[in-house]
């Protein structure tokens, strides 16, 4: 490297971003030739490594030491793009946590490449955060990589089918470096999702009983193509990993930076798997996995002809065009209507409420319709001006995620159910001063008030339903019978019955006065997420992870009909105040409005980037609110009704 060449900024067409020093080292080792640095803007805080891989001139930059996540990644990409204006596309290359499943036999050291899906560009942001320096308005919407990269994926896959993989050949660039040696990584052990790390720096104390038996595999490194989930915190819980993956329709890998890049920088995300995103996570495989990812990135570049790169638009042009297209399509999507019945009211989106920093589990209107409350995984309850769509107040105090919110029918109290078995009753007359109710031994999934506001019912992960007197804040009855978590509770309009939906797949009816079990409704094929009585008390609707909504005859307590149509878990159901509509919100990122009498879909509300967890009608039915896993609340309204 005695006399390195010096090129001009405009000669560089590929941007390579990594997050960790070990990833930077692997990237630098992939260069066939390193170039002399070129002078750049004094305000640019990036340090660039310039060089050549095959025929491509490549700029490499790493996030500042100790910084992780979408914001630093976006900052690095934006500066890089400003300094090297001829960059056509980017590669985000580094390590990630794998999601092994029946479908994908992911091993440590394997590589995952983001591949677009019908619903997204290959990367899904599964939480909300400050994603780009431009603000949060595009959160959840992540661009699809440009055609040149999609073509490259196709060619790479073809090469691998033909066993012309060059990954290990490129990996051999690292062979002289002990840090990247496979021999030092230790064994590749996958533990069952339910088995947590016993403690210590490695899994020496973890039981062999917890290990998933897997057959050994011939290939050292397999490249997988699919969805990468990007979030602002480290995923280190196997149950949550699997749950989130399921919600998002199956993901292969968790990481923290891609969400910051996708909307600023047309790019492909390439992740070497260094752990299984569970509690057993350690750093032993990090360097090796950084190496396989870097070698894979080099292989991707090897299938892209430089002539094609020269012809393709610059990164900036692509982003500008994608933003233009998105603003058009988003407007259309939000207003699109399926199977519209002419004589029926239609709901249109009129506001998106930003503020929660994490998933919104629950939404509820106050009885006068003026307030909307939302409960979030960020541990807060927020109050919004429903008519104006403005933030009013944040109620803090819970130390766990808030799963459920409900106003008392007299408007005096707001209840919130949270982790740690805690319920808070917020007093409207005392500027929402809370009273804390504790009795459940596990998180409270659902809270609801009786029609006379005198009782509060709560359903918990501990499998019980409790009835509380709201005046004294004490437990009156504990209803036991479900063999799994209680996900949802609802009072009948006359207050005499309580229905509960459970993780055991059943709905139970209870006599409120007696505190006794009346009948168990079976039929759902998976856990019941939500129950709701129609305003006339004649129907009970239930929604389930089996992707259906069921109607039950509340008096006969028998099954009436199953509504199919959602392609994901149906998280929540709510009747309109006149009982004519049922709204259902789903993991398929839609809310459906069903005609209660005809039991057919009237309208599908679209435009969601994430699963929709909760839906509620305003007291006169003019408005509909929904809470979604992107941390936002959407408000819809109708001119009629
Ligand atoms: Zn362990």
Q: Which residues of the chain have pLDDT under 50?
A: 1, 128-140, 328-344, 640-641
Residue 269 phi/psi, 5-degree rounding, is -105, 125
Six token digits for residue 622: 């003019």
Task: Check whether residue 313 and residue 377 sit in a common domain.
Answer: no
Task: Check whether residue 436 and residue 310 sit in a common domain.
Answer: no
Task: Check whether residue 287 and residue 354 sit in a common domain.
Answer: no
User: How confident is the model over 560-585, as pLDDT tens digits?
Assistant: 889 998 998 999 999 999 899 999 99
> Residue 574 has what pLDDT?
97
Instruction: Determine the distance separating the centroid of ligand 1 and the alpha carbon of 194, expressed in angstroms.
Output: 12
Instruction: Determine the distance separating the centroid of ligand 1 and the alpha carbon of 208, expressed in angstroms.
Output: 10
Instruction: Determine the distance separating the centroid of ligand 1 and the alpha carbon of 211, expressed in angstroms.
Output: 10
Last residue of a domain, one of 279, 296, 317: 317
Q: What is the CATH number of the domain that holds 81?
A: 3.40.50.1580
Task: Check whether residue 310 and residue 404 sit in a common domain.
Answer: no
Instruction: Determine the distance separating the centroid of ligand 1 and the alpha carbon of 202, expressed in angstroms.
Output: 6
> Residue 640 has what pLDDT?
47
Q: Looking at the domain assignment, is residue 325 inside a domain?
A: no
Residue whose token pair is 């339910």: 194
Q: Looking at the domain assignment, is residue 195 inside a domain?
A: yes
Task: Check whether residue 266 and residue 408 sit in a common domain.
Answer: no
Residue whose token pair is 């750093």: 283
Write out the residue range of the structural domain in which residue 138 sits.
9-317
Cβ(113)–Cβ(299) under 8 Å?
no
Q: Where are the alpha helices (DSSP H) in 183-335?
A: 238-247, 258-262, 286-302, 306-311, 315-335
> Residue 316 has what pLDDT?
83
Using CB atoms within 10 Å of the CB of residue 517, give its burial: 0 to 12 exposed, 13 to 18 middle, 19+ buried.
middle
Q: Looking at the domain assignment, is residue 123 inside a domain?
A: yes
> Residue 134 has what pLDDT?
34
Instruction: Determine the distance separating the centroid of ligand 1 and the alpha carbon of 196, expressed in angstroms.
Output: 7
Q: Looking at the domain assignment, is residue 414 inside a domain?
A: yes
Instruction: Determine the distance separating the centroid of ligand 1 and the alpha carbon of 205, expressed in angstroms.
Output: 7
Domains: count for the chain: 2
Q: Biggest alpha carbon distance in the chain?
A: 89
Instruction: Determine the distance separating the centroid of ligand 1 and the alpha carbon of 285, expressed in angstroms.
Output: 14
User: How confident is the model over 117-135, as pLDDT tens digits?
Assistant: 766 778 888 764 333 333 3
Instruction: Determine the distance separating the centroid of ligand 1 and the alpha carbon of 210, expressed in angstroms.
Output: 9
Q: Looking at the domain assignment, is residue 328 inside a domain?
A: no
Cβ(510)–Cβ(555) under 8 Å?
no
Six token digits for residue 37: 């640095």
Last residue of a domain, one of 317, 334, 356: 317
Instruction: Determine the distance separating the centroid of ligand 1 and the alpha carbon of 474, expressed in angstroms.
Output: 41
Task: Check whether residue 354 and residue 310 sit in a common domain.
Answer: no
Task: Check whether residue 400 and residue 273 sit in a common domain.
Answer: no
Distance CA 202, CA 283 (A): 9
Q: Looking at the domain assignment, is residue 362 inside a domain?
A: yes
Give every CB contact of residue 1 below 8 A, 6+ residues apart in sequence.
34
Instruction: Determine the distance separating the centroid of ligand 1 and the alpha carbon of 101, expressed in angstroms.
Output: 19
Task: Check whether residue 178 and residue 91 sit in a common domain.
Answer: yes
- List the 623-628 sheet strands across, edge first: 348-353, 633-637, 623-628, 612-617
Residue whose token pair is 């990584």: 185
Instruction: Determine the distance separating the centroid of ligand 1 and the alpha carbon of 279, expressed in angstroms.
Output: 7
Distance CA 305, CA 149 (A): 11
Instruction: Determine the distance separating the centroid of ligand 1 and the alpha carbon of 206, expressed in angstroms.
Output: 5
Instruction: Determine the distance separating the centroid of ligand 1 and the alpha carbon of 203, expressed in angstroms.
Output: 4
Task: Check whether residue 363 and residue 309 sit in a common domain.
Answer: no
Cβ(295)–Cβ(170) under 8 Å?
yes
Distance CA 259, CA 141 (A): 9
Task: Check whether residue 307 and residue 386 sit in a common domain.
Answer: no
Distance CA 228, CA 267 (A): 13
Instruction: Determine the distance separating the centroid of ligand 1 and the alpha carbon of 191, expressed in angstroms.
Output: 8
Instruction: Determine the distance separating the centroid of ligand 1 and the alpha carbon of 73, expressed in angstroms.
Output: 30
Instruction: Determine the distance separating the centroid of ligand 1 and the alpha carbon of 207, expressed in angstroms.
Output: 8
Instruction: Determine the distance separating the centroid of ligand 1 and the alpha carbon of 199, expressed in angstroms.
Output: 7
Q: Looking at the domain assignment, is residue 546 inside a domain?
A: yes
Q: Looking at the domain assignment, is residue 327 inside a domain?
A: no
Q: What is the CATH number of the domain that holds 518?
A: 2.130.10.10
Task: Check whether residue 352 and residue 214 sit in a common domain.
Answer: no
Instruction: Determine the distance separating the centroid of ligand 1 and the alpha carbon of 97, expressed in angstroms.
Output: 15
Burial 370-400 (b: 16+ CB within 10 A, else e): bbbbbbbbbbbbbbbebbebeeeeebebbee
> Residue 118 has what pLDDT?
65
Task: Check whether residue 308 and residue 372 sit in a common domain.
Answer: no
Task: Quote the pTM value.
Answer: 0.55
Sign of CA dihedral 42, 43, 49, 55: negative
Instruction: Determine the distance separating the centroid of ligand 1 and the alpha carbon of 278, expressed in angstroms.
Output: 9
Give every CB contact of residue 588 below 8 A, 6+ residues apart in sequence.
547, 566, 567, 568, 611
């Amino acid at each position: 490297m005695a006399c390195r060449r010096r090129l001009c900024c405009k000669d560089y067409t590929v941007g390579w971003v990594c997050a960790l020093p070990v990833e930077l080292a692997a990237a630098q080792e992939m260069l066939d030739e390193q170039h002399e640095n070129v002078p750049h803007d004094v305000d640019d805080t990036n340090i660039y490594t310039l060089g050549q891989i095959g025929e491509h001139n490549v700029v490499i930059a790493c996030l500042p030491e100790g910084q992780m996540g979408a914001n630093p990644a976006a900052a690095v990409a934006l500066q890089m793009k400003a300094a090297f204006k001829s960059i056509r596309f980017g590669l985000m290359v580094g390590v990630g946590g794998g999601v092994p499943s029946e479908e994908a036999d992911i091993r440590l050291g394997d590589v995952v490449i983001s591949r677009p899906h019908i619903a997204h560009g290959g990367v899904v942001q599964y939480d909300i955060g400050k994603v780009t320096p431009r603000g949060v308005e595009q959160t959840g919407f992540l661009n699809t990589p440009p055609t040149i990269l999609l073509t490259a994926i196709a060619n790479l896959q073809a090469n691998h089918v033909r066993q012309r993989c060059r990954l290990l050949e490129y990996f051999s660039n690292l062979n002289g470096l002990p840090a990247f040696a496979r021999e030092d990584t230790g064994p590749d052990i996958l533990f069952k999702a339910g088995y947590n790390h016993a403690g210590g720096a490695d899994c020496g104390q973890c039981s062999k009983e917890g290990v998933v038996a897997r057959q050994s595999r011939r290939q050292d490194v397999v490249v997988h193509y699919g969805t990468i989930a990007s979030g602002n915190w480290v995923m280190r819980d196997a149950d949550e990993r699997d749950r989130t993956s399921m919600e998002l329709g199956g993901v292969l890998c968790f990481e923290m930076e891609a969400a910051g890049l996708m909307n600023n920088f047309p790019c492909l995300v390439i992740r070497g798997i260094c752990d299984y995103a569970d509690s057993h996570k350690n750093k032993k495989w990090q360097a090796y996995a950084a190496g396989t990812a870097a070698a894979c990135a080099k292989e991707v570049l090897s299938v892209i002809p430089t002539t094609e790169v020269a012809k393709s638009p610059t990164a900036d042009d692509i982003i500008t065009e994608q933003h233009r297209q998105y603003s058009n399509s988003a407007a259309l999507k939000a207003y699109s209507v399926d199977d519209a019945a002419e004589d029926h009211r239609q709901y249109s989106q009129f506001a998106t409420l930003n503020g929660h920093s994490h998933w919104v589990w629950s939404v509820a209107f106050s009885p006068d319709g003026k307030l909307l409350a939302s409960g979030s995984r960020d541990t807060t309850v927020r109050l919004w001006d429903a008519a104006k769509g403005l933030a009013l107040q944040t109620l803090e105090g819970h130390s766990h995620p808030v799963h459920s919110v409900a106003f008392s029918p007299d408007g005096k109290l707001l209840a919130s159910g949270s982790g740690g078995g805690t319920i808070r009753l917020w007093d409207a007359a005392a500027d929402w001063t809370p009273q804390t109710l504790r009795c459940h031994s596990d998180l409270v999934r659902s809270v609801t008030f009786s029609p006379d506001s005198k009782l509060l019912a709560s359903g918990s992960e501990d499998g019980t339903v409790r009835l509380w007197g709201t005046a004294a804040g004490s437990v009156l009855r504990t209803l036991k019978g479900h063999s799994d978590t209680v996900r949802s509770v609802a009072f009948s309009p006359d207050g005499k019955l309580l229905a509960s939906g459970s993780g055991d797949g059943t709905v139970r009816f209870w006599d409120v006065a007696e505190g006794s079990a009346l009948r168990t409704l079976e039929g759902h094929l998976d856990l019941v997420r939500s129950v709701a009585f129609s305003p006339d008390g004649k129907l009970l609707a239930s929604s389930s992870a089996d992707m259906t909504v069921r109607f039950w005859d509340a008096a006969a307590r028998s099954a009436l009909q199953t509504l199919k149509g959602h392609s994901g878990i149906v998280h929540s159901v709510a009747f309109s105040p006149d009982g004519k509509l049922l709204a259902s919100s789903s993991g398929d990122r839609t809310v459906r409005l069903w005609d209660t009498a005809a039991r057919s879909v009237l309208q599908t509300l679209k435009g969601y980037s994430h699963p929709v967890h909760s839906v509620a009608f305003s007291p006169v039915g003019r408005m509909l609110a929904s809470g979604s896993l992107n941390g936002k609340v959407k408000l819809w309204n109708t001119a009629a009704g």
